Every structure is written in C-alpha cells, then in structure tokens.
Copies of this chain bind each other. A is one copy, B any other.
C-alpha cells in the first residue's frame, strides 16, 4: 500500500499539501491540486485510516455485542444496524455473547481504542457495564441510564386489549423466565384486564424460572376444563411456534380454540399460519441508536422506551 509520502514525492509537493487536497481541499493552488490528484490516482492511494484514527482518537468503529438468544431477531437487528451505521460512515464490529462473562470479555477486547462506542443488544441476564460509551438495548440492565428499552408492559396491555376485542376473555400467559421482563408483562396484562373489567386469575399465569413453556402449557392443558382459556400470550415467535405445535398435538385449533399471541415478532414464512404479534420496528431502533451515537457527547441522552406495533394477520 502506498503512503502519503509516495504521493507527495510523485506529485512534487509536501505531505501537508497532499493531506490538504484529500481532506478539505481549501486554499490549494489548482496546479498542485491536480498534481496530487493525479499522483494519488496513479498510486491508487487511500489514506490509512489507522493513522487517522491515532490522530483523531476515534476509529469510526462501533462494537455491537449481540446477546440475543433468538437468532432470527439478531439478524434483523444486525442488518438494520449495519445499514444505518454504514450510512454514517461507521463500521460494525460484531461479537456474540451469551453470558455476563462473555459480554465482559467482549467489552474488554473492544475497549482498547478499537471502538468509539459499544452497543449491547438483547441480554437476558444481569450485566455490570461501565455506562461510558456503551449503550444497552433491550437488556436487563440494573441502572437504566444509556439504555433503550422496549415497553413490554405496553406490549402486553396492547396484546390483551386486542385479544379481548376478539372475544377472548380467558387469556393465559407464559414467559420463559421470571425477571424484570416478566414483571412488566404481568403489569400490562393486569392493567388490560382491569380496564376491561375482567378478573385476574393467577392460575393462567406461568412465570416460573425453571419451567419450559411446553411444561407450562402442559400444566395449563391439564386444568383446561376448569380454566377454559382461549388465548395465550407468549414471549416471541419461536415460543409461539412451539406452543402452537403442542396445542395442535392436544387437538386444539389455533386460533379457533386458542388464539396465540407473540409479544415480540412473528414468523413470516409461507405455509406457517401468521399470528397476531407485537412487532418492534428494527429500522426505527437502529436509527435511534445511530442518532444517539452520532450526536454530541455532552448532550446527555435520556433513556428511551420503545413501543412496538400491533400486527394482526
């Protein structure tokens, strides 16, 4: 690779002039400007971004630590984020991590001058991050400064309102873990019931930690004669797919007997029946992240809450 020295030599000017031409070409004689351009073209010169980074103390790289278990959603996020970042001449440094220590490792390796900022997405475990130049998205973070969170309570409330509008008044809910997410879902769930003058039945709610959704569903079905539920709220589209399969094994029609609702995204595949869901617009999220990253650091950003859209088949 040729350097600025090669260009300056070939063009017969100094390095500074070369730099001036290629950066902000102001105050340069047309003759030398052309000479530089010609020499650069000839040598196929491209300024070394590493040297520029050393000087400017910023690399234009954004570390993205993807802790999202749902691999479908990961890709959607990544795609949207990369699109936004490259539009802003930023680079996406990708890491996957599935536990607190892995996140910490990734963070360490990215925070040695390589990245200007780090985005952590979708962690479903506690994480202790120095919230300096790192923003967390859809994560279970203790202090929610520098974070973009999804409004799961609102999602659950919207879901219930929709289900009730469809004549479903016995709504069961299954979440994979008992954490802050589950709490918020429960909040929205209860609120919707209350607003619709429906009773809350604890037996319809499964938020145990060590119980898989299929076991929970089994327990629901065992009591189905007394519970008589006709709608089921689950965490995401994969959970939905699982429970739908299970329900069909129980000879239950979906959505006729039991309407299944996904609280995060839906599977859009030909041949797979679409289900009602809350969709979080990944493009909006990506744009918001990038806006945050590219704005002036001094303007303290406030934590953001994102609401998804109700999507019905």
Contact = CB atoms under 8 A, between A and B. Distances in A.
Contact of A83 (B48, B54, B96): B96
Nearest to A49: B112
Contact of A50 (B50, B244, B271): B50
A211 interface: no
Nearest to A75: B75
A46 interface: yes
Contacts of A78: 75, 78, 94
Given A49-B113, A271-B244, A91 B91 contact: no
A91 B76 CA distance: 21
A96 B92 CA distance: 10
A270 interface: yes
A76 B71 CA distance: 9
Q: Determine how many copies of this chain the complex contains.
A: 2
A281 interface: no
Nearest to A96: B82
A75 to B, nearest CB: 4
Interface of A: 1, 46-51, 53-54, 59, 61, 64, 71-72, 74-76, 78-79, 82-83, 86, 89, 91-96, 106, 108-114, 238, 241-242, 244-246, 248, 267, 269-272
27 contacts: A1-B113, A46-B111, A46-B112, A48-B112, A50-B114, A51-B54, A54-B54, A71-B75, A72-B72, A74-B75, A75-B78, A78-B94, A82-B94, A82-B96, A83-B96, A89-B109, A91-B109, A92-B93, A92-B94, A92-B95, A94-B94, A238-B269, A242-B271, A245-B270, A245-B271, A246-B270, A248-B271
